[in-house]
Amino acid sequence: MEINHIGREISVLADFQEVPGIGFIPVNAFVLHAAEPVVIDTGLSLPERGFMDALGSVLDPRDVEWIWITHPDRDHTGALRELLDAAPRARLITTFLGMGIMSMEAPLPMNRVYLLNPGQSLDVGDRRLTAFRPPLFDNPSTTGCYDEHTGACFSSDCFGAPMPSAELAGCPDVGYVDKCELRDRQLLWATVDSPWIHTVDYAKYLETFDVLRSFDPALVLGTHLPPAIGRMPEFLDMLAAAPGAVPFTGPDQAAVELLLATFEAAPPTD
């Protein structure tokens, strides 16, 4: 994992997963160094990803007060149980639906769950965090997080983009990616992760941008995007174009078999 820092306030624990034919998907978690420290998402549910070691390099897990799971997909909850054990004072922020989904895997300690709906806020000692529903999502329990102290918007899956390389997936600023290429990759991600985007009432969809405009965040921190500074206007423009993007159709079995045959026939490399 790569560890990037945004001033003294935020640490980015940057991982990635390669998806053939799509690219290198950033998988970020974040540490918000508030008076009551907050960990936002807990990485991939794959063995030996080193999440707890990465977290321990920026913060003693015993000091964690809050764990905010933006939604309970397995690329957001990888080290959740381990972190709950290591952080005995930490409470788990989720929604009623998110709690139910996570409880399907194993019971949650109910006395440590804190339910927060979009539009509600939470005081973490020296700042207020506000939950919101991002315009794009792939899980109905998704809640993003806005930190009014830093102006950072933690947008969960919204604004994600597969990167062309592992290095860019873990880079400290999405500005390293060409703007046109980034937009194309974000539109691809929108059609892959939120395929319902092609069937929405467009006027009602545009209304979902209002919460982001009201925040006017200086910094966008997405689970599947390198940190983005001052990019919200162009990101909203990209979202507005998403319903008209080409729908994603993945390879079928015949395409996979052709790919495997091509791979097996390729000469070995030194």
Position 270 in a domain: no
Does residue 48 sit within a domain?
A: yes
What percentage of the chain exceeds 90 in pLDDT? 89
The pLDDT score that the predictor gives to residue 268 is 66
- What pLDDT shows up at residue 86? 97
Q: Using CA atoms, how far apart are residues 103 and 132, in angstroms rounded to an integer?
A: 22
Report the CATH number that the domain containing residue 239 is assigned in CATH: 3.60.15.10
For residue 66, being part of any structural domain is answered with yes
Residues 6+ away with beta carbon under 8 Å from 117: 95, 131, 143
CA 138 to chain centre: 11
- CB contact at 8 A, 12 and 51: no
Asked if the structure places residue 36 within a domain, the reply is: yes
208 falls within a domain: yes
* Total domains in the fold of the chain: 1
256 within 8 A of 109, measured Cβ to Cβ:
no
Tokens of 262: 């091509």
Q: What is the pLDDT of residue 259?
A: 77
Inter-residue contact 222 to 28 (CB < 8 Å): yes
Flag whether 35 is in a domain: yes
102-143 residue pLDDT tens:
999 999 999 999 999 999 999 999 999 999 999 999 999 999
Mapping DSSP onto H, E and C, the string for 45-108 reads: CCCCCCHHHHHHHHCCHHHCCEEECCCCCCCCCCCHHHHHHHCCCCEEEECHHHHHHHHCCCCC
Contact 193, 22 (CB under 8 A): no
The answer to whether 153 and 217 have CB atoms below 8 angstroms apart is: yes
DSSP for residue 135: S
The number of C-alpha atoms within 13 Å of 222 and in the hemisphere containing its C-beta is: 26
81 falls within a domain: yes
* pLDDT recorded at residue 217: 97
Whole-prediction pTM:
0.94
- Give me the pLDDT at residue 21, please: 81
Q: Which residue has the tokens 């999405």?
A: 174
Tens of pLDDT along 75-102? 999 999 999 999 999 999 999 999 999 9
Structural domain that includes position 138: 2-265
Q: Are 215 and 153 in contact (CB under 8 A)?
A: yes
Helices (H), 142-252: 166-169, 179-193, 202-207, 210-215, 232-241
Does some domain include residue 244?
yes
Instruction: Extract the residue ranges of the chain whose pLDDT is less than 50.
Output: none
Q: How far is CA 73 from the centre of its chain?
A: 10
DSSP helix/strand/coil, 19: strand
Asked if 155 and 144 count as a contact pair (C-beta separation under 8 A), the reply is: yes
